[in-house]
Chains A and B, each alone.
Chain A
């Protein structure tokens, strides 16, 4: 019995140590309204107040294909990926709510894949691991000891995850015409409307995007999204039909067409950068010294890009 109590005490102290270390490791930003665990969960809160131009909501398709640092480097706009693996709309809404309480984005982009994800189909272990990650987000932030004395830098890659793996697929037409229309799982449209209303209320432009994916994108889904866009009056950009970005699926995917890798992300990011430029909504911040941390983040990305390319 004594040993059991000792073991429990050992793990309690260990958890406390992890929590204390998190306090130092999660970038603080300047918000005082949110504690470090909330900042760990809603990463846009780690950035400087009102420093983000575009928030991108989405799942793994987002953080693998939209690279804010490239857009920063080429256009000077600040984009942030608010994205998590297998993200569901309810959680994305909460994240957006907290993020726009602190940031003033001019545009919110949402990746369309989330609309088709049924939250009820979440496996139990996924739910548990997600909850664990929420309580103990050390996995994401442990490496911040390198910049422990510089809490100004914000998140490493602004929500983007560098994926250097390549498991090739073939170049084929995965967007073949079909009369079918994919249905949205129950409840998703309600959450989506909430997101839309929040954006309207805050006077934020909204754009729905479907990024290239041979696994997630298809014609019935595209038709469903076009109809939804007409019905609820928002912009929809499809990057799949006709392969407008000229994605080479033999080289630019990490998992046989499921997601893009770092090379594919360059194409999507460049395309979105051009879109932002044409919208004339944004100002180039590259010469603004208060955005210097974005240059540092870009340098770190470039280093990883170059070494991977070698």
Chain B
């Protein structure tokens, strides 16, 4: 088993887990989920499960220690006079902070060793070379456990929430282990908060016919996105990005648009499988996508694409930085000089820079990811600076910003910027990204634009177009708050079944699998 799209997962692992989960008594159901989660992890990452266990133990001990310190403080405070309380509180705050930092560092150290050590050593060697220092670090690269970027963030989020009193520390280590390793979400998220999913994970829901149907429907939709669209686009994307220099700018655009669609179909499709899998057990995981291409601007795009990652950075990086004491001081001074609109932008910009640098780095250890992060930082910051001016200009020109045409133009502009961002993201090096960018804006010739040079035929193009239109219509209905699954559920059985058969048969027949196709590797699982 290598991913959620492995048939072994959908037709053997998941059904068997559901079966055992259904027959086990309610209070032990969570143990079945935990065992299945560890089995899933071991099947993919084998002995690297040790690192997951170490993370779980560290988080568990850290959180319990924080709760113990809180209780100690509480009991001591009740016996003290008012003036004695403040220093004691400070003392305990320091103790708690020490625990928090130690646990975070312990977990980040694993993440750094597995993900960033090679990048760090390579760049250090380059620097030493530039400085004519005759020393070279040996480059080490470890095979990372699956989902380390995801479960580490979830673990850090949990311990910070316990520190801030927003989550209670879990007494049962097995339950905490399940929260951090739940198999549908361990590989690619969503990165959930403890209060969001824990009770649902431990409750031991009944497996109902409705949950089974709804869960598998969602899984099927994910398979459709991945196998019919993403895997088919993979051919075009690989060819264009590997040989952009042999193609015209128009073909480069095709590759970039293809990649953005592929990434969306792959990642949102995976999320459908993930959320659908959890739904079968009666567990509601947070949504990770909300029709991102309907966003008005880049800032809003990131509240609709990989929502849980954006929320994590907002809660654990943006707010702590922008609301920190030094930043508050800067904001107060800046307000006096720059006014109420531009004054708070300075602390916001610093926090935003931290968010996007880390966001870029989280996606991978490479300069393209760092530039990808900085690109979004600049776009979002410019958006905030310009907003006041745009509003004024629209008022002057009598343009209604709620007008449909204006909204569509906003989404088109936003999508254009997304394309550029994803191109930087996919390019293997900054030089390739620069070369492609130059081609896209300077070379408008039509050499090598034929389908055959792009590894596709007319049949592939028709399937891609029809598939994308299908996803677009579903997204449009969702955007209008129409619950499609509930609507379908109310239809007569022959209509429902006809729709299900159409979806299943389209995956079976039009899926890009077998000879001549190379499925997209789980893109986000590598981050």
Query: A interface vs B, CB < 8 Å?
Result: 3, 10, 13-14, 17-18, 21, 25, 138-140, 142-143, 145-146, 156-157, 161-162, 164, 303-304, 307, 310
| B524 interfacial contact with A, CB 8 Å | no
Q: Is the CB of A3 within 8 A of B209?
A: yes
Binds A, one of B164-172, B239-247, B383-391: B239-247
Cβ–Cβ contact B459 & A146, under 8 A: yes
B508 contacts the other chain (Cβ, under 8 Å)?
yes
Chain A contacts for B246, CB-based, 8 A = 310
**In the complex, which of the residues B501, B513, B518 contacts A13, with contact meaning CB atoms closer than 8 Å?**
B501
Residues from chain B with a CB closer than 8 A to the CB of A18 are 505, 508
In the complex, residue of chain B having the shortest beta-carbon distance to the beta carbon of A145: B509
Query: For residue B522, which residues in chain A have a CB less than 8 angstroms away from its CB?
Result: none
Asked if B173 lies at the interface with its beta carbon under 8 angstroms from chain A, I say no
Q: A142 near B518 (CB under 8 angstroms)?
A: no
Whether B515 and A303, one on each chain, are in contact in the complex, defined by CB atoms closer than 8 angstroms, is no
The answer to whether B515 and A162 have CB atoms under 8 Å apart is yes
- Contact A304–B508 (Cβ < 8 Å): no
Measured CA separation A143–B246 after assembly (Å) = 29
A64 shortest CB reach to chain B, Å:
12
Q: A10-B497, A145-B459, A303-B452 are in contact. Are A161 and B515 (CB under 8 A)?
A: yes
Assuming the A-B contacts A3-B209, A310-B242, A310-B243, are A156 and B501 also in contact, with contact meaning beta carbons closer than 8 angstroms in the complex? Answer: no
Cα(A146)–Cα(B246), bound, Å: 28
Separation in Å of the B393 CB from the closest CB of chain A? 47
What's the Cα separation between A161 and B509 when bound, in Å? 19
Closest to A18 in B: B508
Check B505–A304 contact: CB distance below 8 A: no
User: CA separation between A283 and B511, bound complex, in Å?
Assistant: 39
Give every chain A residue within 8 A of B504 (Cβ-Cβ): 14
Q: Is the CB of B239 within 8 A of A21?
A: no
Q: Is there an interface contact between B518 and A307, defined as CB atoms closer than 8 Å? A: no
Residues of A within 8 A of B521 (CB): none
**Given contacts A303-B452, A307-B455, A145 and B243 within 8 Å (CB-CB):** no
Are B459 and A304 neighbours in the complex by a CB distance under 8 Å? no
B508 touches A146 (CB 8 A): no
**Separation of A243 and B508 alpha carbons in the complex (Å):** 42
Complex Cα–Cα for A310 and B452 (A): 13
Separation in Å of the B382 CB from the closest CB of chain A?
Answer: 38
Point out the residues of chain A lying under 8 angstroms from B508, CB to CB.
18, 21, 138, 142
Cα–Cα, bound, A14→B159 (Å): 48
Q: What's the Cα separation between A161 and B504 when bound, in Å?
A: 26
Complex Cα–Cα for A14 and B500 (A): 10
Q: A10-B497, A161-B515 are in contact. Are A142 and B509 (CB under 8 A)?
A: yes
CB of B326 closer than 8 Å to a CB of A: no
Asked whether, in the complex, the Cβ of A21 is within 8 Å of the Cβ of B505, the reply is yes
A164 and B455 CA atoms in complex are apart in Å by 14
Nearest first, the 6 A-B pairs at minimum CB distance are A146-B459, A307-B455, A3-B209, A310-B243, A142-B509, A307-B239
Among residues of B, the one whose C-beta sits closest to the C-beta of A147 is B459
**B406 CB, min distance to chain A CBs, angstroms:** 42
Can you give 13 contacting A-B residue pairs, CB < 8 Å?
Answer: A3-B209, A13-B501, A14-B501, A14-B504, A18-B505, A21-B505, A21-B508, A138-B508, A142-B508, A142-B510, A143-B515, A162-B515, A304-B455
Note all chain B residues with C-beta closer than 8 A to A164.
518
B19 → chain A, closest Cβ, in Å? 13
Q: Which of B243-257 contact A (CB under 8 A)?
A: 243, 246
Residue of A whose beta carbon sits closest to that of B451: A303
Query: What sequence of 0s and 1s flags, for each residue 6-22 of chain B, a beta carbon within 8 Å of any chain A beta carbon?
Result: 00000000000000000
Q: Contact at B242–A139, with CB atoms within 8 Å? A: no
Determine which of A21, A161, A303 lies in contact with B455 in the assembled complex, contact meaning CB atoms within 8 Å.
A303
Q: In the complex, A161→B246 CA distance in Å? A: 28
For the complex formed, measure the closest distance between the CB of B375 and the CB atoms of chain A, giving whole angstroms.
Answer: 28
